[in-house]
Amino acid sequence: MTLQFCSFASGSSGNCYLVKDDHTAILIDAGISGKRILQGLEETGTPREMVRALLITHEHIDHVKSIPILTKRIPDLQVYANSATWENIERPVPEHVRETFETGREFGIGDLSIRSFPVSHDAADPVGFSVLKNGRQISICTDVGCITEAIREEIREADLLLLEANHEREMLLMGHYPYPLKQRILGDEGHLSNVDCGECLCRIVEDCQKKRQVLLGHLSRENNDPHVAMLAVENTLQEKDIFVGGDLQIHVARRDEPSRLFEV
């Protein structure tokens, strides 16, 4: 086995992901209840003692909610964030479990290599993460208002990619959100729409031909739907004569339930 991935939850009400190999497991974000995270570990056959690190993308509550409980329940867990994120996390985190990484610089946890990359979002210093081992790559890119060339370069070779498909633009515009919130979501420091997601996938598939699995993540409860997201992304791909199936498999990471355990 090289790498395995499971989304415990992905959405504005909370986010948490698991990446592991035979010996080391890491969590990325902890925005759902500690009970659900520990249950996810049990259901994926991941002993708590195997979890070496919790990586934090940014300080918003749907990504950091359960840091305190996890540092109490998981032995020797270290929590990794960049300096600006630590300065803005309002949850109590003991100093002895804090680790600080420099955005863009690769570091190791067990046999896993971790690379953070900057994303555009309304947080202090938000990042996505790539986890690498033996030439295999899992990348997580959500809470991103726009896809830059640097982001495309980072995620283009991912064997498994969790990519944001937050909203259907028309649903958002016609919905009940106040105008300033709609503008925030639609802005370059907001969230990717379904079409934005599809267009990003078009670029990386055209740039790098390989077998890959894609999970559509961070879907809005009010402004999206799994079937709508999948259809919009597939239609955007088909406009470029890129069809889902074979080397390109697409799934939806659900807001409130875990995914299956993927292997790459």
Q: Which whole-number Å values give the CA distances from 126 to 114, 117, 123, in the listed order?
A: 15, 8, 6
pTM of the full structure: 0.96
The 10s digit of each residue's pLDDT in 63-109 is 999 999 999 999 999 999 999 999 999 999 999 999 999 999 999 99
Element (H, E) at 212: strand 212-217
The 10s digit of each residue's pLDDT in 137-180 is 999 999 999 999 999 999 999 999 999 999 999 999 999 999 99
From 3.60.15.10, 3.30.70.920, 1.10.150.120, 3.60.150.10, which CATH number describes the 4-263 domain?
3.60.15.10
Q: What is the pLDDT of residue 12?
A: 87
Q: What is the CB neighbour count within 10 angstroms for residue 157?
A: 18
Do 20 and 40 contact (CB within 8 A), yes or no? no
Q: For the chain, what percent of residues have pLDDT higher than 90?
A: 97
Q: What is the pLDDT of residue 35?
A: 97
CB-based contacts of 46, cutoff 8 Å, min separation 6:
18, 20, 25
Q: What is the pLDDT of residue 73?
A: 96
Q: What is the pLDDT of residue 2?
A: 85
Exposure b/e, 181-198, CB count within 10 A at least 16 = b:
ebeebbeebbbbbbbbbb
- 11: exposed, middle or buried (Cβ count in 10 Å: 0-12, 13-18, 19+): buried
Tokens 């894609």 correspond to 214
The 10s digit of each residue's pLDDT in 46-60 is 999 999 999 999 999
* Rounded Cα gap, residues 175 and 150, in angstroms: 33
User: What's the average model confidence in pLDDT over 35-41?
Assistant: 98
User: What's the average model confidence in pLDDT over 248-256?
Assistant: 95
Q: Is the pLDDT of residue 1 over 80?
A: no
Q: Please provide the average confidence, as pLDDT, over all residues in the chain.
A: 96
Do 26 and 3 contact (CB within 8 A), yes or no? no
The 10s digit of each residue's pLDDT in 207-221 is 999 999 999 999 999
Domain boundaries, the chain: 4-263
